[in-house]
Structure 1
Amino acid sequence: MGAVSAANRSVVVIGGGPGGYEAALGAAQLGAEVTVVERSGMGGAAVLTDCVPSKALIATADFMERFSAARRIGVHFDGDEVRGDQGVTAHIADVNARIMELAQAQSRDIVERLESAGVEIVQGAGRLLGGGQVEVVQGVGAVASGEEPAPHGADRDSGESLVLEADLILVATGARPRVMDTAVPDGERILTWQQIWDLTELPEHLIVIGSGVTGAELAHSYLGLGCAVTLISSRDRVLPGEDADAANVVEEVFRRRGMAVLNRSRAGGVRRDGNGVVVTLEDGREVTGSHALLAVGSIPNTTDMGLEEAGVRVSRSGHIEVDRVSRTSVAGVYAAGDCTGVFPLASVAAMQGRIAVAHALGDAVAPLSLGKVSSNIFTDPEIATVGVSQADIDEGRVDARSVMLPLTKNPRAKMQNVQDGFVKLFARSGSHTIVGGVVVAPRASELIFPIALAVANRLNVDQFSSTFTVYPSMSGSLAEAARQLHEIAD
């Protein structure tokens, strides 16, 4: 299909996160008149309180870890022998101030991109009225980092409202932290991941409840910043939804660096105790610390938005039901991002948004393919994955072979003092097509890209391994894994 024009078509996007602003840019490029409704700040939680801030915090912790590892590569600092350490400390108020500045700068960059593309931005809370209409309650205040965000459909009596007419409506309102009735956040000692940016002192002992991606990443961060950390996991291991080999490496690193990991331990509640907290486990044990961080999942921002009244189907969990081109059950209404529960990644939200406007406005589009999505967990080492999993192979859902190579044999890894990690490739039996992979390494988020290209373009192990790699490099292990899969195939 050639270039299309959506001139005189009106698009209203509710939510300015990755799914919303990427959709707005795509619709504007096609010539549509686009309005974005955002209640808190452009970029949404991903930019302001979640993805961008947390990865910036992780980068700070990783920077400090370099000082801890300095002696292992022969680097010493003046006075080091006297002090017995590197004298490096994290001033969390300064760290958080820098992180919030970065988040605001990213938000401003998004605003500039949207405005330069001709997109109108309306501050307020959006609600579907049906018949292609969106009501916007203006005057709804922005949400501070330590404040629990309200549902996107705010009280219509709280400010002036206006009604927008739209040929296409995209709902991209994201999600917010799930909290426990027995562990109510107070923004001081009991915190969600959106409230930690107001801390002015580094926690003495942080108890992280939940060992999924968010819990593992933030536990790693605060451990690296110098906190005592206890990670409470209700499952047999941390990161229970990830590759088992990869999760075991990360848990071993956590324990080696001094983190207390309590597996098969479910938190029953959290209470304040003076200047500290007490976490009560369901088996009756108690864990005491200075702060508790709740990382027990998220809930979609879909309440009080008029979705059901407009006929939009919503699941029991509150997620908007969509198909592979982001359509809801109502013609002209699409949805993208964490409010759909498809795959809670900013990259997937952005792709859903772009697919939605392309489909609705008549541009060429391919349906969303989750089998090609690469994802990353920003622990140290990082865990990056794409395509089919080891569990898919072990449980017979995919007929494929695998090879795993430890990075301790890689020359570049030795030079960089990398002590943990591996690369793993999966190739389909018969055709030897690469169908997935796992990388556990520093900057695994970068190393996964060639495997993602191979999966997306259906390259076989010979095509992959015959491509030159730099020597020495981490990527050399990827090519070596492919060569070993060729040997297995023979």
Structure 2
Amino acid sequence: MADDQFDYDLFVIGGGSGGVRAARVAAGEYGARVGLAEEDRYGGTCVIRGCVPKKLMVFASTYRDMFQDARDYGWSVSDGPFDWHVFAAKMRAELDRLEGVYRKLLDGTGVDKFDARATLKDAHTVTLSTGEEKTAKHILIATGGRPVRPDMKNADLGLISDDIFDLEKLPRSMLIIGGGYIACEFACILHGLGVDVSMYYRGGQILNGFDDETRALIAGQMAARGIDMQPGSSVLEMEEREGGIWTKSTQGVEKIYDHLFFATGRAPNSNDMGLEELGIKLGRNGAIEVDEYSQTAVPSVYAIGDVTDRVNLTPVAIREGMAFVQTVFGAEPTPVDHELIPSAVFTQPEMGTVGLSEEDAREQEPIEVYATSFKPMQTSFAGREDRVMMKLIVSQKTRVVLGCHIVAPQAGEMIQLAGIAVKMGATKEQFDQTCAVHPTMSEELVTMRTPTRT
């Protein structure tokens, strides 16, 4: 396999989940000579400043409700104050451990690591910030994305998602700008940890792009919990005042918050890499344009993950990395499959979704909608007003389940399993033929017999 005219068979730029998986499989399973450069920390957004620390914060934020539920179930417990310093120290230690795991995975397969920024000199050469140059038969760009601040005066006063994990102390109040899943997740997390949270979002509803009925339920539950939801709003002005951030909204509301958090979007990490000079095409937002095999306009250069802005999820980046390795080193041309990808939004309650929303399905073909919303047994017994939802979108013609949407505690766990059936093309009747597990919330997925609407 080795081509001695190059230093490496593959050079990967980016040490996140997708890049590391591609590097170690190419080296470990196919015997490729592989180099990898990472300018920051190994593990990428997911491990260091995304999915993992966020999920740990989700866990931490749910205990306040648990204390109250325990009392309602007869336990004598009291709410202790949440100690951010204890939690943050353990969280950061866990991230250090996971970064070490990523490094060891590369070492175990003989991948050469370079703790440096890499740019492209030509189609087969990368230049490292150390001054070194390395050549490779194939180059894989897996540099991910980054949160961005809006273009406005004093925007640097606002936090971005990377900053949340490095807070020295929890603020008393936080204004979150944005209505996407990152904004909603952190609104629920911070509120659960005792922060007074407000949300400004320009649209009439949160979670744009998701099923309307499910996002409406989540918005209602967030408001009922005490999060100040402000649709149709954004920040017009902001400045430092009285030890906090003074803001004036587009609705004319003026208030001072301890912190302001921009959750207004992300951008691919493709800038200043020498890509366009080589003929690699970039989209308007800087996304690297690739074909179905993740190949750029320069045949020796490929790109995967968030830097391509296709489906920005960690498991997708890993799948793209595997497809790249199979295509280039396994002699099995493998297009990336972006159809029917399950995903979860870790709000409180969570949302799990796979397939088409009701709105998108209606534009495609005649459908039946099976939906139910109810108070789950556990929290209803404790006297809470929480509601959950189970929803199936079904093709009238083929009876195939086109979409499944769950709003409930642990919806992420449920949708992983439901996603298998939807991916296999299961019909509504096959769902119905499955015996229910009782008493569970998810049994409703196989017991709904009559369409709610068509």
So what's the TM-score if we normalise by structure 1? 0.86
In structure 2, relative to structure 1, the CA distance for the partners of 1:167 and 1:484 (3 Å cut) is: farther
SS at match of 2:233: coil
Contact 1:212 1:241 in 2 (8 A): no
In structure 2, relative to structure 1, the CA distance for the partners of 1:324 and 1:401 (3 Å cut) is: farther
Residues 71-470 of structure 1: pairs in structure 2 closer than 5 A:
71-77=71-77, 86-137=78-129, 160-182=130-152, 184=154, 190-364=158-332, 366-394=334-362, 396-408=363-375, 419-470=386-437
Q: CA deviation at 1:415?
A: 6.6
Contact 1:210 1:231 in 2 (8 A): yes
Cα distance in 2, alignment partners of residues 323 and 280 from structure 1: 44
Cα distance in 2, alignment partners of residues 243 and 72 from structure 1: 33
Aligned residue identity for 1:291: H
Q: 1:94-124, CA deviations, whole angstroms, 9 ceiling, x for partnerless residues? A: 2222221222212111222222122221110
Answering whether residue 17 of structure 2 is matched by residue 18 of structure 1, we say: yes
Contact 2:125 2:133 in 1 (8 A): yes
Contact 1:89 1:226 in 2 (8 A): no
Cα distance in 2, alignment partners of residues 297 and 109 from structure 1: 29
Answering whether residue 438 of structure 2 is matched by residue 471 of structure 1, we say: yes
Contact 2:393 2:404 in 1 (8 A): yes
Aligned residue identity for 2:110: G
Deviates more, 1:65-74 or 1:29-38: 65-74
Contact 1:436 1:452 in 2 (8 A): no
Cα distance in 1, alignment partners of residues 240 and 203 from structure 2: 25
Q: CA deviation at 1:317?
A: 1.1
SS at match of 2:62: helix
Cα distance in 2, alignment partners of residues 446 and 330 from structure 1: 40
Aligned residue identity for 1:31: G
Q: CA deviation at 1:130?
A: 1.4
Contact 1:426 1:437 in 2 (8 A): yes
Cα distance in 2, alignment partners of residues 322 and 176 from structure 1: 19
Q: 1:80 corresponds to which residue?
A: none
Q: 1:134-173, CA deviations, whole angstroms, 9 ceiling, x for partnerless residues? A: 1111xxxxxxxxxxxxxxxxxxxxxx32112112111111
In structure 2, relative to structure 1, the CA distance for the partners of 1:7 and 1:472 (3 Å cut) is: farther
Q: 1:65 corresponds to which residue?
A: 65
Q: 1:246-301, CA deviations, whole angstroms, 9 ceiling, x for partnerless residues? A: 11111111111111111100222322113111122234332321111111111111
Aligned residue identity for 1:449: Q
Contact 2:202 2:233 in 1 (8 A): yes
Contact 2:390 2:442 in 1 (8 A): no
Contact 2:69 2:379 in 1 (8 A): no
SS at match of 2:65: helix
Q: CA deviation at 1:465?
A: 2.8
Cα distance in 1, alignment partners of residues 155 and 194 from structure 2: 23
In structure 2, relative to structure 1, the CA distance for the partners of 1:184 and 1:328 (3 Å cut) is: farther
Q: 1:175-215, CA deviations, whole angstroms, 9 ceiling, x for partnerless residues? A: 111112335465xx631111122222221111111111111
Q: 1:367-387, CA deviations, whole angstroms, 9 ceiling, x for partnerless residues? A: 223222111100111011111
SS at match of 1:338: helix
Cα distance in 2, alignment partners of residues 281 and 185 from structure 1: 14
Q: 1:297-347, CA deviations, whole angstroms, 9 ceiling, x for partnerless residues? A: 111111110101111100121110112221111102111111111011111
Identity fraction in percent: 29
SS at match of 2:59: helix
In structure 2, relative to structure 1, the CA distance for the partners of 1:447 and 1:284 (3 Å cut) is: same
Q: CA deviation at 1:411?
A: 5.5
In structure 2, relative to structure 1, the CA distance for the partners of 1:128 and 1:225 (3 Å cut) is: same
Unaligned runs of 5+ residues in structure 2 are none
SS at match of 1:379: coil
SS at match of 1:372: coil
Cα distance in 2, alignment partners of residues 19 and 268 from structure 1: 38
Contact 2:288 2:307 in 1 (8 A): yes
Deviates more, 1:12-21 or 1:66-75: 66-75
Unaligned runs of 5+ residues in structure 1 are 1-5, 78-85, 138-159
Q: 1:31 corresponds to which residue?
A: 31
Contact 1:91 1:201 in 2 (8 A): no
In structure 2, relative to structure 1, the CA distance for the partners of 1:218 and 1:177 (3 Å cut) is: same
Contact 2:123 2:300 in 1 (8 A): no
In structure 2, relative to structure 1, the CA distance for the partners of 1:182 and 1:131 (3 Å cut) is: closer
Contact 1:413 1:474 in 2 (8 A): no
Q: 1:52-83, CA deviations, whole angstroms, 9 ceiling, x for partnerless residues? A: 11111111101232113333333332xxxxxx
Q: CA deviation at 1:7?
A: 5.5
Q: Alignment length, in residue pairs?
A: 448
Deviates more, 1:357-366 or 1:112-121: 357-366
Q: CA deviation at 1:244?
A: 1.4
Contact 1:436 1:451 in 2 (8 A): no
Q: 1:47 corresponds to which residue?
A: 47
Cα distance in 1, alignment partners of residues 385 and 35 from structure 2: 48
Q: 1:81 corresponds to which residue?
A: none
Q: CA deviation at 1:243?
A: 1.5
In structure 2, relative to structure 1, the CA distance for the partners of 1:302 and 1:280 (3 Å cut) is: same
Aligned residue identity for 1:135: T
